[in-house]
């Protein structure tokens, strides 16, 4: 937290929203935001579980953000400031973003670092900043309040909106378009060459030039070391509000909808279409030219090889509805016992067919 503030300052900022319902107890000065386990005097914490109540009473933070039900349990501490919210986790996200997030303006050099290379035709917003050794190419446009950190390369004619953060050593490829309030993680490449080749009769491969672009809509977060390939002709697109984890690969011509959550090691092959609010757990793989509808959850290293047309949870490879996948796992665990029973039945059949023959059981 940059400066100390009163708890009432936080309440005033959010009181006209649905996030903070009320304030009661003390009105302490807040010097920082901390986890419940590590908290101490002067700090604000977020409490969403009953087993945190004793920790709060013992470690005595200045204030808590919690639900009405848990607040009633904490009200005996008269010095404790309390903010009531219906959604503690959302409150943590928005309160910490507003009052406890990293301050890029404080960290960055004024405007353009002397070691940065900015083409004379580039247009950089007056409140934007360009870090050390960054390269801003011909015809690039960078919006106001955008922070381009050290070592970033923005190739010619790319467009970056306002209030974006491009982390160190990321690359924004030529002509790609980045919306507003977008965050690009360190080492990510937006507009890398799509993987397209044609072969002759001798199976020699020839590159199909990938001359499309990548379009990233507003409020998208791209994690570290992502590769988002440019389209062959038109555009690869990531919809508004979607968040990717580290180490994700999105191939050429992929279309991803709004407010998706895509976690580490996701791999999406070319020309696939992913709907809105899709959630993919780690190491999900999706083949090319597949369509996934809205509101799908992909779990347990899901391998998607065909269209998913109904919302719901899916898991496994090849992907199947989650309830079917769980039944399959349960059956797999019983295979050993079934094998033993089958061996016993075979032995009994052999005994009945040959009553005078003694036989020893086969090993399981």
**Are the C-beta atoms of 303 and 321 separated by less than 8 Å?**
no
Give residue 41's pLDDT: 96
- Model confidence, pTM: 0.87
Give residue 135's pLDDT: 98
Q: How far is 39 from 47, CA to CA, in rounded Å?
A: 12
pLDDT mean values, one per 10 residues, the chain (364 residues):
91 95 94 96 96 94 96 86 97 96 79 96 96 97 97 98 98 98 98 96 97 98 98 98 98 98 98 98 97 97 96 93 80 74 84 71 54
Give residue 246's pLDDT: 98
Residue 160's closest CA among 242, 216, 222, 221? Answer: 216
pLDDT digits (tens, 9 = 90+) for 268-290: 999 999 999 999 999 999 999 99
Complete DSSP assignment for 150-184: TT-EE-TT-EE-SS-EE-TT-EE-TT-EE-SS-EE
Give residue 327's pLDDT: 78
Give residue 358's pLDDT: 55
Catalytic residue among 119, 252, 289, 331: 252
Give residue 325's pLDDT: 76
Say which residues have a Cβ less than 8 Å from residue 349's Cβ, sequence separation at least 6.
Answer: none
Give residue 15's pLDDT: 92
Q: For the chain, list the domains and their CATH numbers.
A: 5-101 (3.40.1390.10), 106-324 (2.160.10.10)
The beta-strand segments (E) located in 217-324 are 221-222, 227-229, 235-238, 243-244, 249-250, 255-256, 261-262, 267-268, 273-274, 279-280, 285-286, 291-292, 296-299, 303-304, 312-315, 320-321
- 249 assigned to active site: no
């Amino acid at each position: 937290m940059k400066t100390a503030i009163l708890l009432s300052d936080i309440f005033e900022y959010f009181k006209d929203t649905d996030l903070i319902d009320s304030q009661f107890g003390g009105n302490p000065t807040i010097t920082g935001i901390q986890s419940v386990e590590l908290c101490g005097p002067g700090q604000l914490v977020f409490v969403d579980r009953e087993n945190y109540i004793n920790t709060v009473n013992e470690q005595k933070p200045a204030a808590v953000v919690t639900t009405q039900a848990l607040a009633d349990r904490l009200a005996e501490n008269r010095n404790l400031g309390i903010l009531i919210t219906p959604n503690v986790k959302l409150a943590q996200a928005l309160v910490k973003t507003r009052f406890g997030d990293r301050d890029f303006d404080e960290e960055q050099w004024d405007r353009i670092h002397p070691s940065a290379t900015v083409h004379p035709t580039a247009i950089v917003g007056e409140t934007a900043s360009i870090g050390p050794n960054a390269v801003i190419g011909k015809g690039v446009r960078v919006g106001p309040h955008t922070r381009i950190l050290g070592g970033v390369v923005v190739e010619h004619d790319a467009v970056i909106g306002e209030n974006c953060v491009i982390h160190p050593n990321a690359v924004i490829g030529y002509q790609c378009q980045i919306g507003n309030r977008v965050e690009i993680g360190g080492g990510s490449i937006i507009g890398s060459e799509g993987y397209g080749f044609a072969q002759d009769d001798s199976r020699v491969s020839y590159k199909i030039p990938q001359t499309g672009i990548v379009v990233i809509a507003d409020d998208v977060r791209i994690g570290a070391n992502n590769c988002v390939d440019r389209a062959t002709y038109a555009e690869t697109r990531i919809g508004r509000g979607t968040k990717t984890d580290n180490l994700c690969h999105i191939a050429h011509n992929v279309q991803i909808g709004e407010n998706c959550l895509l976690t580490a090691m996701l791999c999406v092959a070319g020309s696939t279409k992913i709907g809105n609010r899709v959630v993919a757990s780690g190491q999900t793989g999706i083949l090319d030219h597949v369509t996934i509808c809205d509101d799908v959850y992909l779990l347990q290293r899901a391998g998607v090889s065909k269209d998913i047309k109904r919302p719901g949870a899916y898991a496994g490879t090849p992907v199947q509805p989650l309830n079917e996948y769980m039944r399959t796992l349960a059956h797999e665990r019983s295979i050993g016992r079934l094998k033993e029973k089958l061996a016993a039945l075979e032995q009994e059949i052999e005994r009945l067919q040959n009553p005078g023959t003694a036989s020893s059981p086969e090993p399981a």
